[in-house]
A and B are shown apart, each in its own frame.
Chain A
Amino acid sequence: MNASVYEFLPVFMVLFPICMSVVVFWVSRYSERWRNGLSIVTTVVTFFAVAAMYPPMIAGEVIAYRIFDILPGLGISVRVDILSFCLALISSLVWMLVSIYSIDYMSHEHGTDRYYPIFIFVLGSCLGIFMAGDFFTLFVFFELMSLLSYVLVIHEETKEALRAGYKYLIMTIIGGLALFFGIVIIFELAGSVSLNEGTLVAIPSTMAFLAFINFLIGFGMKAGMFPLHVWLPDAHPVAPSPASALLSGIMLKTGAYGLLRVTYTVFNIPMIKEARWDIIVIVLAVITILLGSAVALTQEDLKRRLAYSSVGQMGYIILGMFIFTERALIGDIFHIFSHALMKSTLFLAAGAIIWKTGLRNINELSGIGKKMPLTLGAFTLAALAMIGIPPLNGFLSKLYLGLGALEAGAPIYVVVLLVSSLLNGLYYLPIIIGAYFGQDHGEEEDVEETFQFDDTSWGMVIPLCILALFCLVFGLMPGNIFFELSRQAAAFLFTMGTP
C-alpha cells in the first residue's frame, strides 16, 4: 500500500457506512436477510478499513489534509493520529460484534427497518468524530451522531423511552450549543480550530476559560460527567441492549475523546495547570466516580445499574486525563479500551438475559447462571474486570491510573479509585452471586438435575463471549495491542501537550 491509500481510508471509513445506510434502508424494503447481511458486511468492512490503518499509525505518522473550505480557516478536514486510530479501532470493533449480536436480538423487535440504517449511519458519524481534522468537522459529526442516536434511544417507543429520549435530546442540544460556542470562541481567539496546529490557545484568559467551560459542558455532557450525567441513566437502559452497549461502550467515549483533544491540543498542560482549570474537572470527576458507583448500588434494574456504573467509569477516564502524567494518560486511554469492552459485554449479557427471560430486576436473577452459563460467564468476566481483578484489563487500566496519580503526588485519587472499585464489587458481586448461588426459585431443582444447556442463541452468545474474552486477553496476554496503542497514544499526546 502506498501513502495515498492511507489518505483515502479515513474518508472511506466515514463515508462508507453513511452511504451504506441509504442502501440498507432501500434494501430493507425488499429483503430482511439482505438488510441484515449488508449491515454486518458494512460494519465488518469498516472495521477492516480501520484496522488497515495500523501500520502507519503505529509508526507514529499523522495523516492530515483539508477537503474543502466553507469559510477561510473553517472547513472540512481530515486528521488521523494514533489517538484517533485507537478510538476508531475500538469503536469499529465493538460495532462489528454488536451488529452481529443485533441480528438475533432485534429479530423479535419492531421497527428494524429503521434500526439498521441508523445503526450504521451512527457508526459513520462516530468515526467521523475521530477522523475529524478540526473542531468544526468534529462538531458536525458530533451533532450528527448525537441526534441520530436519539432514534436508537427511543427505539422501544414506550412512554419511558420517549421520556428518556426527550431528556437526552434536550441535553444533547444544550451540549451541542455549548460546544459550538466553545468552538466559536476558540476560532475568535486563535483564528483556527484545526487540530493540526499544535496548541491553539496558550495564554489563559477569561475568553479562553469560557471556551474551556463550554467544551467541558459540550463534551462532558456526552461523557456523562457530573452534573451533566442525568440523561445517561435514563437513556441507556431504555434503548435496546445492542444500542445500550454502543451508547455506553462507544458513544460516551466521544466525549472523552473531545476532552482529550481540548486538553492536549487546544490548550496545553502547563497552561491548564497554571490557570488551575484542572481542579474544576478533577473535583467533578471525583464526584462523578463516587456518585456513579454509589448510586449504582441502589439501583434494582440491571441495565440501570450498568448505566450508573458507566457514569462512574467515565469519571475514571475524565480524572485520568487531568492528572497530567504520562502513566495516568496510558491508563486513561487504556481504560477507554477496557471500558468499551467491559461495558458492551455487560450490556450485551444483560440484553441476552432480558431477551431470554424478560427479567430486568436484579432480585429476580437468582439461579440464572445455571440456565445461561455462557452469558453469565461473560458477564462475570466483565464484571470482575470492572472491579479491577487481575489479570483482566480493568486491573491494568486501574494500575496505570493509580500509578499516574501517585506520580503526580495525589494518593487521594488512588483512594477514590479503590473506593470506587470496592463499590463496583458491592454492586456487581451480588448479581453474580445471586445468579450462580441464589436459590430463591423452586424450579431450580429440575434444572440442576438435567443441566440442560439453555443459553440464548449462538448469534448473541458468540459476540458476547468474544468481547468477554477480549477482557481477559487484553489484560493478560503478552503483545497487548490495545495497551501498546495506549502507550504510544499517551506518549504522542503528552509530547503534544507539553510544548
Chain B
Amino acid sequence: MFLAAEYSAEITQTIISWRLVAVVLFPLLAALITALLGRNNGFIAAIFAICACALNFIGVLSLFPMLQQGVLEYPFAELMSVGLLFRADYLSFIFATLISLAWLTVMLFAQAAVDDEEQRKLYFPFSLITLGSCLGVVLTGDLITLFLFFELMTFSSFVLVILRRNREALIAGTFTLYMGLAGGLVMLLGIFSLYNATGTVELIPMMEKLAASEANLPLIITCLFIGFGIKAVVIPFHLWIPRAYSAAPAAVNALSSGAMIKVGVYGLIRVFFVILTPTSLEMGELFNFVRAAGYPVMWLGLLTMVVGAVMALQQDNIMKLLAYSSVSQMGYIITGIGAGAYLFGLEEAMGYSGAVLHAFNHTLFKVAFILIAGIVYYCCGELDMQKIEGLWKKIPAAGVLFVISALAITGIPGFNGYISKTLIHDALLEAYYAYGGLHIYIAEKVFMVGSALTLCYYLKFFQGVFGGKIPFPVLKRRPPFLLYIPFFFLIPLMLAVGLFPNYFVEGFVLASVADFTFEPYSINHIIGFQFFGAHPLEAALMVLLIGLLLYLPLVRMGFLTRPLPRWLSIEYLVLAPLVSLSLNILLRSGGGLDRGVNRFYHGLAAKFLSLTNYFSAFDQRVDLFYSNSGDKVRNLVESFRTVDDKLNQVYDRTGKEARDLAGKTRKWDGALDKGYEKAGEYARNLTKRTSEMDEALDHGYEKAGEYARNLTKRTSELDEALDHGYEKAGSTARRLVDRTKENDEWLNDGKDTTDEKAEADEKHKQPAGLNPLEWNIRNLNFDSLLLAVMLGLVIFVLLFFARGLVNL
C-alpha cells in the first residue's frame, strides 16, 4: 500500500463516472425486481437479493481503482431543479464498503433467519431500498442529495423495523420514524442555513465562507449534529434504538447497527472534518471554531459511552443489551470525532482515524453479536436472558463466535477493537498533552471506565446466555449451517485488522485524509504507530483489570438485575415532558383557537340574529303600533262621526230650541216692550210726579224765600232798630246802666223769635206729596231698579274705561 503522506500530496482530479450512480441505483432497481419475484416465491427473491448485494459489493469495490486517481463525480444539474450531485472520495468509499459488506453478510444470514413468508415479502425489497439509500447518503457530494437519501433511508428502514407487524413493532417503528423525521427536519434547517450562509450545499471545506458570512454558526452545527446524531444514537437522541431493537428481528438490527447508524457517523465526520474546516492550513484562527465545537462533542461522546454501557448492564433482553452496547460503542466514535475536532490543526488525524476505524470495527463485531443473538432467538424463540441458559453446551459454535467477538469489542490486543480504541484513547492523551488541564485528564479516565464497563456487560451476556449448567429450555430447532456463513467474513476481518493494524490504518483509513485539510504532521504521527508498544498495552491491561474488578461487586450488589428508577430515564426526564408539552401546547392552543374562532363567529352570528330578532320585534311593534293607531284613528274617526252626528243632532235640537227660544225671546221681547212701555209710563208718571213735586218744592222754596225775605226785612228793620237802639242805648247806657239787665232780657226775647222763624223755614222746605220716611225698597218700582242697575253698570263701565284711561 501507499503512504498516506505521499497520497495527500497528490493533486486529486475529478473523474466523471456513471458507475457511482449505478452503485446507488442498482439496489433500488433490484428492490423492485425482488418485490415482483417475492410475490410468487420468497426463496427466489431472497437469492436474488443476496446476488444483488454481492454484485453491489463488487460494484463498490470496483470504484477503488478509479478512486486512486481522484474523486469520482456524477452531477445531475437539472434534477430536482437544484441539481443533484453524486460524489465519492476515499471516506465515502470506506463507508460504502462497510455498508455493502454489512449488507452482504446480513443478507446471507437473513435468507435463513427470516423464514416467515410475509416478512420475506417485505424484508428483501425494503432492505435493498435501504441499502440503496444508505449508499446514496455516503456517495453524494451535496447536502440536498444527501438529505434525499437520508429521508429515503428513514422511511424504508421504518418498514424493516415493523417487519413483525405486531403492536410492539408498530409502536417502535412509528417512534423511530417520527424521530427520524424530526431529525431530518432539524437537519434541513441546518442545511438551509448553511446554504444561505455560503451559497452552496456541497460537501467541501467552507470555513472561510462561514467565517465571512454572519450566519449563526452554532445553530447550523447544532442542527446538523442533531440531524445526524439521531441516526448516530448520540445520548439524548438514542431513544429509538432500544425500542426498535427489541421489536425488530436480528436481520434488521444487524443492518441497523452495522450500517444505518454508521450513516450518522459519516455525516458527523463530514460536518466536523470537511464543512467546518478551511481549505488551507494557513489561516490558523479558522481552526478555533471547529476546536470549540469539538470539545462539547467529545464530552457528549464520553457521556454516550458511559451511559450506554451502564444501561447495557441493566438489560435482560439481549437485543436491548446490544442496542445499548451500540449506543456505548457509538460513544467511542463520537469521542473520537470530538477529540479530533478539538485537536484540529494539531493531532486531528488521531481522533479521525480512530473514529473511522472504530466505525468499521464496530460494524464487524456488532453485526456478529446481533447475528449471534439472532441465532439464539432462532433456537429458543426468546430474547430474555432470564429464560435462556446454558447454550454453550447446545450451540458451542455460537459460543465460540461470541467469545471472539467479545474479545474484539472489549479491546483485547490482537483483535480489531483494541486498535481503534487505542487510537481514540491516544487522541485523548494528545489532547491532554496539547492543552493540559484536569478536565481532559478526567475525560481520559472516564474513557477507561467506559471501556471497562464494556467488558462487564459482555460478561453478563455470556453468563446469562451461554453460562449456566442445565441446558434449558430444550432447543426448538437446531441452527442451520447457513446461519454461520456471515461469520466467515466477519471473524477473519476482525483478526486481520487486529493483527495487522498499521496496514489497515495507513492504507485504508489514512488514505481518505488526502481530500481533507489535515495537518501533515498529525498524519505522519500515525504512520508507523506502535500499536503494540508498552503504553497501549498497559492501557488495555488496565481496562481489563478495572472491568474485572468492577464486575464482581456489581454482580454482588445486584446492580445488574435491579433496574434503575424510571425517573432517571431520558424518556421520563426529557422526552415525555417535551413531547407532551409541545403537543399539548400545539394541540390545545391550535384546537382551542380554532374552536374559539368558530365559537366567536357563531356567537357573533347569534348576536347578529338576536339583533335582527330584536329589530323584527321592533318592526312588529311598530307595525302593531301603526295598526293599533290605525284602529285608534278609525275609532277616533268613528267617534268623531258620532260626535258629529250628535253635534248635528245637538245643533238640530239647538236650532229648534233656538227657534223656540227665539219665539220665546220674541215673546219676552214683546213682554219686555210692554214692560218697558209700562216702565216708561211709570217713569213718565214718576217724572210728572217729580215735576209736580218740583213745582210744589219751587212753590215751597218761593214761599220760604218770601218768608226769608220778610224775615230779612224784619231782621234788617230789627237791625236798624237795634242800631237805633244801640245808639239810643249807647247814649242812654251812661245814663241808664241799671236798665241793662232789662235790655238783655229783651235781647233774649229777640233771639227766641229768630229760632222760631228757622223752624218754620224748615217746615216749609218739605215736599208736599212725598214722605221720605216711606221711600224704601218695597215701593220702589221695577223701572227705577232697572234704571238704577243700568246706571250702575254704566258707571262701572265708565269706571272701567276710566281706569284704562288713567292707565294710559
A contact residues vs B (CB 8 Å cutoff): 170, 226-227, 229-230, 287, 290-291, 293-295, 297-298, 384, 387-391, 395-396, 399, 402-403, 406-407, 411, 414-415, 418-419, 421-423, 425-426, 429-430, 433, 437-439, 448, 451, 475-480, 483
Taking A396-B81, A418-B185 as known contacts, 20 extra A-B pairs with beta carbons closer than 8 A to each other, sorted by chain A number, are: A229-B597, A290-B586, A291-B590, A291-B593, A293-B590, A294-B590, A295-B590, A391-B80, A399-B144, A402-B188, A414-B192, A415-B189, A418-B188, A422-B182, A426-B178, A429-B181, A437-B170, A451-B39, A478-B81, A480-B81
Can you list the 8 inter-chain pairs with the closest CB atoms, starting with the nearest? A478-B78, A294-B590, A406-B196, A390-B148, A294-B586, A418-B185, A402-B192, A227-B597
Separation of A389 and B158 alpha carbons in the complex (Å): 15
In the bound complex, CA of A414 to CA of B147 (Å): 16
Query: A475–B76 Cα gap in the complex (Å)?
Result: 14
What CA separation (Å) do A294 and B593 show in the bound complex?
11
Task: Give 11 CB contacts A-B under 8 Å.
Answer: A287-B593, A295-B587, A298-B587, A418-B186, A422-B178, A425-B178, A429-B177, A429-B178, A433-B173, A439-B165, A478-B79
Q: In the complex, are the beta carbons of A418 and B189 less than 8 A apart? A: yes
Residue in contact with B151 in the complex, picked from A390, A402, A475, CB distance below 8 Å: A390
A290 to B594, CA, bound (A): 11
Given known A-B contacts A403-B192, A411-B193, A483-B81, A390 and B144 have beta carbons under 8 A apart? yes
CB neighbors of A among B582-641 (8 A): 586-587, 589-591, 593-594, 597-598, 600-601, 605
Partner of B174, one of A226, A419, A429: A429
Closest to A334 in B: B81
* B interface majority secondary structure: helix
Residue picked from B181, B186, B195, B219, most chain A C-beta under 10 Å: B181
Shortest distance in angstroms between B504's beta carbon and chain A's nearest beta carbon? 36
Closest to A396 in B: B81
Chain B residues, CB < 8 A from A230? 594, 597-598, 601
Q: Of all chain B residues, which has the CB nearest A380?
A: B155
In the complex, are the beta carbons of B79 and A476 less than 8 A apart?
yes
Alpha-carbon separation in the docked complex, A170 to B606 (Å): 13
With CB as the reference atom, state the residue of chain B lying closest to A486.
B81
Report the bound CA distance from A387 to B586 in whole Å.
Answer: 18
CA distance A295 to B174 in the complex (A): 20
Closest to B185 in A: A418
B593: nearest chain-A partner, CB-CB: A291
Closest partner residue, chain A, to B145 (CB atom): A390
Q: What residues of chain A lie closer than 8 Å to B170, measured between beta carbons? A: 433, 437-438
Do B80 and A390 touch (CB < 8 A)?
yes
B162 within 8 A of A: yes
Report how far A298 CA is from B118 CA in the complex, Å: 33
A-contact bits for B186-211, CB 8 A (1 contact / 0 none): 10110011011000000000000000
How far does the alpha carbon of A422 sit from the alpha carbon of B586 in the complex, in Å? 12
* Residue B216 at the chain A interface, CB threshold 8 Å: yes
Inter-subunit contact B80/A297 (CB<8 Å) = no
Tell which of A227, A387, A402, A439 touches B181, judged by Cβ atoms closer than 8 Å: A387
Complex Cα gap A438–B174 (Å)? 12
Contacts of B805 in A (CB 8 A): none
CA distance A174 to B186 in the complex (A): 41
A400 CA / B626 CA spacing, docked (Å) = 68
Query: Do residues A170 and B181 form an inter-chain contact, with CB atoms below 8 A?
Result: no
CB neighbours (8 Å) of A297 from chain B are: 586-587
Inter-chain contact B216/A411, CB cutoff 8 Å: yes
- Encoded as 1 (CB less than 8 Å from any A CB) or 0, chain B from 136 to 179 comes to 00000000100110011001000100100100001001100110
CA of A252 to CA of B159 in the docked complex: distance in angstroms?
Answer: 35
Whether, in the assembled complex, B806 has its beta carbon less than 8 Å from a beta carbon of chain A, the answer is no
Q: Which residues of B contact A419 (CB under 8 A)?
A: 185
Residues in B whose Cβ lies below 8 Å from that of A426: 178
Q: Which residues of B contact A (CB under 8 A)?
A: 39, 76-82, 118, 144, 147-148, 151-152, 155, 159, 162, 165, 170, 173-174, 177-178, 181-182, 185-186, 188-189, 192-193, 195-196, 216, 219, 586-587, 589-591, 593-594, 597-598, 600-601, 605
B111 to chain A, nearest CB (A): 22
Nearest B-chain residue to A171, judged by Cβ: B601
Please count the residue pairs between chain A and chain B whose beta carbons lie under 8 angstroms apart in the complex: 116
Which of A298, A395, A429 contacts B591, CB < 8 Å? A298
CB distance from A406 to the nearest CB of B (A): 4
A476-B181 Cα distance, complex, nearest whole Å: 20
Contacts of B152 in A (CB 8 A): 389
Tell me if B192 and A389 are in contact (CB < 8 A): no
A422 adjacent to B192 (CB under 8 Å):
no
In whole Å, how far is A169's beta carbon from the nearest beta carbon of chain B? 12
Q: Is the CB of B174 within 8 A of A433?
A: yes
Q: Is the CB of B196 within 8 A of A407?
A: yes
Complex alpha-carbon distance, A483 and B189, angstroms: 22
Residues A396 and B79 in contact in the complex (CB < 8 Å), given A287-B593, A406-B196: no
Residues of A within 8 A of B82 (CB): 396, 399
- Provide the bound-state CA to CA distance between A430 and B170, in Å: 10
B589 touches A294 (CB 8 A): yes
Considering the chains assembled together, what is the distance between the CA atoms of A387 and B593 in angstroms? 23
Given contacts A396-B82, A403-B192, A421-B185, contact A170 B605 (CB under 8 A): yes
B151 neighbours in A (Cβ, 8 Å): 389-390
A295 and B594 form a contact (CB under 8 A): yes
Chain B residues with CB under 8 A of A407? 196
* Residues in A neighbouring B586, C-beta threshold 8 A: 290, 293-294, 297, 423
A391 to B173: give the CA distance in the assembly, Å: 23
Contacting residues, chain A, for B178 (C-beta < 8 A): 422, 425-426, 429
CB neighbours of B181 from chain A (8 A): 387, 422, 425, 429
CA distance A290 to B192 in the complex (A): 20
Q: Which residue of A lies closest to B118 (CB)?
A: A448
Task: Looking at the assembled complex, report how far the CB atom of A361 sits from the nearest CB atom of chain B, in whole angstroms.
Answer: 18
Quick one: closest A residue to B188, CB to CB?
A418
B193 touches A290 (CB 8 A): no
The listed residue with most B CB atoms (<10 A of its CB), out of A384, A395, A415, is A395
Write out the residue numbers on chain A whose beta carbons fall within 8 Å of the beta carbon of B165: 437, 439
Q: How far is the CB of A315 from chain B (nearest CB, A)?
A: 12
Report yes or no: A406 in contact with B118, Cβ–Cβ below 8 A. Answer: no
With A294-B590, A411-B216, A411-B219 as known contacts, state yes or no: A390 contacts B189, CB within 8 Å: no
Nearest Cβ in chain A — how far from B99, in angstroms? Answer: 20
A230 CA to B591 CA in the complex, in Å? 12
- Chain A nearest CB from B149 CB (Å) reads 9
Is the CB–CB distance between B601 and A406 below 8 Å?
no
Task: Enumerate chain A residues within 8 angstroms of B601, measured Cβ to Cβ.
Answer: 230
Nearest B residue to A167 via CB reads B601
Q: A403's contact among B39, B196, B597, by CB below 8 Å, is which?
A: B196
Question: With A230-B597, A294-B590, A396-B82 in contact, is A391–B148 under 8 Å at CB?
Answer: yes
Contact partners of B605 in chain A: CB under 8 A: 170
Chain B, Cβ-Cβ closest to A424: B181
CB distance from A91 to the nearest CB of B (A): 22
Measured CB to CB, the nearest residue on chain B to A297 is B587
B172 to chain A, nearest CB (A): 12
Cα distance, A430 to B80, chains bound together (Å): 27
Query: Roughly how many angstroms separate A439 CA and B166 CA in the complex, as a whole number?
Result: 8
Residues of B near A423 (CB, < 8 A) are: 586
Closest Cβ of chain A to B158, distance in Å, is 8
CA distance A399 to B151 in the complex (A): 15
Give complex CA distance A295, B587 in Å: 6
Residue on B with the closest CB to A233?
B594
Which B-chain residue is minimally distant from A390 (CB atoms)? Answer: B148
Whether the pair B590, A422 counts as a contact (CB closer than 8 A) is no
| Nearest CB in chain B to that of A406: its residue | B196
* Max count, chain A CB within 10 A of own CB: residue among B79, B162, B193, B590: B590
Q: Is the CB of B195 within 8 A of A290?
A: no
Q: Within the assembled complex, what's the spacing in Å between the Cα atoms of A346 and B5?
A: 57
Residues of B within 8 Å of A399, CB to CB, are: 82, 144, 192
What residues of chain B lie closer than 8 Å to A421, measured between beta carbons?
A: 185
Please name all residues of chain B whose beta carbon is closer than 8 Å to the beta carbon of A433 when the two chains form the complex. 162, 170, 173-174, 177
Could you tell me the distance in whole angstroms from the C-beta of B20 to the nearest C-beta in chain A? 18
Known: A294-B590, A295-B590, A396-B82. A406 touches B185 (CB 8 A): no
